[in-house]
Amino acid sequence: MSFPFEIFKAYDIRGKVKSELNADTAYKIGRATAQWLPSKGIVAVGRDMRPDSEQLASEVISGLRAEGRNVWDIGKVTSDMIYFAVGKYNLAGGLVITASHNGNDYNGIKIYRDKVTPVGLDSGLAEIRDIAASIDDEKPELSGSYEQKNINEAWIDHCISMIDASKWPEYRVAIDAGNGMAGAILPYILPKLPLQSENMYFDLDGTFPNHEANPQKEENLQDLIATVKSHSYDFGIAFDGDGDRAGFVDDKGRPVLGTDLISIVSKYILSSDEGSKIVHDVRTSRATRELIKEWGGEPVRTKAGRVYIGALVRELGASFGGETTGHLFFKKNYDADSGLIAALMVIQALSESNRKLSELVDEYRRYVMPIEKNYKVANKKLVFDTLKEKFSEYQQDELDGLTVELKDAWFNLRASNTEPVMRLNIEAASQAQLESLLLDVESAIEAQG
């Protein structure tokens, strides 16, 4: 069987189980990672709840140990717990077996090196890929040690240290874990918080029987929306499959955009750290950028993708960074992202505002911005060329895809790094302006579709 080079993506490893990502490949990735990691020391391995994750984790661990690496097996965890383990215990690296929000026919591996540095295709993953492809089928003796390690209590203590829940009202909320890994850790922290929560889909089930565990898609929030509205809850929270992203629904049952969450947390962060840089991706609302400046911060724009945002947060010494998909990064969390810490920080910010979540969203969302739209396109280059020509009179840049800035509107179109689609983010001062611009952009996309 040929080596599956195609499963090595921009940010991590993702592939269809058995046909693309199997036990043999996982073993070779473990060996390759052990060879590549720059630092000596322990490597942590965790996994999600997918049916084949335990086997893949076992093979990764065997590969690491075959190269002499000592391994901590931290079991079923959210991805952000691996990031925490690497930072808290100064480990040489960490790997978590997960395909995040992808369906149950997929699995994957996220890799971090020392100092909680994500390993993407241009920061080591390409080298790991090439080393793995060169490894033959001979299996050396396992010379590295193996230890099972439970970090749940340390993780919860770390998360709690980021907030002051004594200031919270006793919010009534609904929480949708999407049958993902958040359902394993939330029962440890909820008793420590002044929340009355209705817990939805907390059972771990990697077949995702209720809905896809991706809170960025509105169709996956319908049960949460219905629950919030029917019980007049203060808000709802939804987590993705591996628990490193959180999405919100406000008290009116409306999905809260990722850019709104960046605004809400930025206001809270800047209240005690005025002048800090706030990193954001190219899809962030113009309103969020304006608000950060008004609150005394400095917005810094970069490519979409958790690898890029986390790296820039660290490079700049920024207190906070956010991606509009819901990945939120915190300096106090080893510059890494966390769904649980993001949820706690949003609640902290909300509690100190003395406002309803819907009121904050309405105040901060100055323009009309729909949820990200996706398009399947045959020739992406032709689409970009058509749009560049069509909007040639306006300011453009190609930091990540194509961004066009008009006087009262803007849009960004970029090719996804995780799916075979193009993603459009668009915003305008009014609904009429939005619809007019969207018609122009979609006509260019459809002409080449």
Q: Please confirm, yes or no, whether 100 is among the known catalytic residues.
A: yes
What is the pLDDT at residue 248? 98
| pLDDT of res. 419 | 73
Superfamily of domain 152-366: Alpha-D-Glucose-1,6-Bisphosphate, subunit A, domain 3 (3.40.120.10)
Reference 272, options 156, 356, 164; nearest CA is 164
* Residue that is written with structure tokens 């189980």 in the block: 17
pLDDT score recorded for residue 260: 97
pLDDT at 187: 98
Q: How many alpha carbons fall within 13 Å on the CB side of residue 197? A: 20
Tokens standing for 34?
Answer: 């052990």
> The whole model's pTM is what?
0.95
pLDDT for residue 8 is more than 80: yes
Given a cut of 80, whether residue 418 has pLDDT beyond it is no
Q: What is the mean pLDDT of residues 183-191?
A: 97
C-beta of residue 230 within 8 angstroms of C-beta of residue 253: no
Cα 159 to Cα 36, 55, 112, 156, distances in angstroms: 31, 30, 20, 5
Question: Any idea where the domains of the chain sit in the sequence?
Answer: 5-150, 152-366, 373-447
Q: Among the options 53, 58, 79, 100, which is catalytic?
A: 100
Neighbouring-strand partners of residue 257: none
The mean per-residue pLDDT over the stretch 322-344 comes to 97
For the cut 80, the answer to whether the pLDDT of residue 420 exceeds it is no
Across 178-189, average pLDDT: 98
Residue 284 in contact with residue 120, Cβ under 8 Å? Answer: no
Domains 5-150 and 373-447 share a fold: no
Q: Compute the average pLDDT of residues 236-256.
A: 97
Which residues fall within 8 angstroms of residue 205, CB to CB, at 6 or more apart?
49, 179
3-state percent breakdown (helix, strand, coil) of the chain, nearest 5: 40, 25, 35
Cβ atoms 208, 105 nearer than 8 A: no
When mean pLDDT is compared across 116-120, 169-173, 356-360, 415-419, the lowest value belongs to 415-419
Domain 5-150: homologous superfamily in CATH = Alpha-D-Glucose-1,6-Bisphosphate, subunit A, domain 3 (3.40.120.10)
The per-residue pLDDT for 447 is 77
pLDDT of residue 379: 87
What average pLDDT score do residues 264-269 get? 98
Domain 373-447 has CATH 3.30.310.50: yes
Tokens standing for residue 170: 């006793």
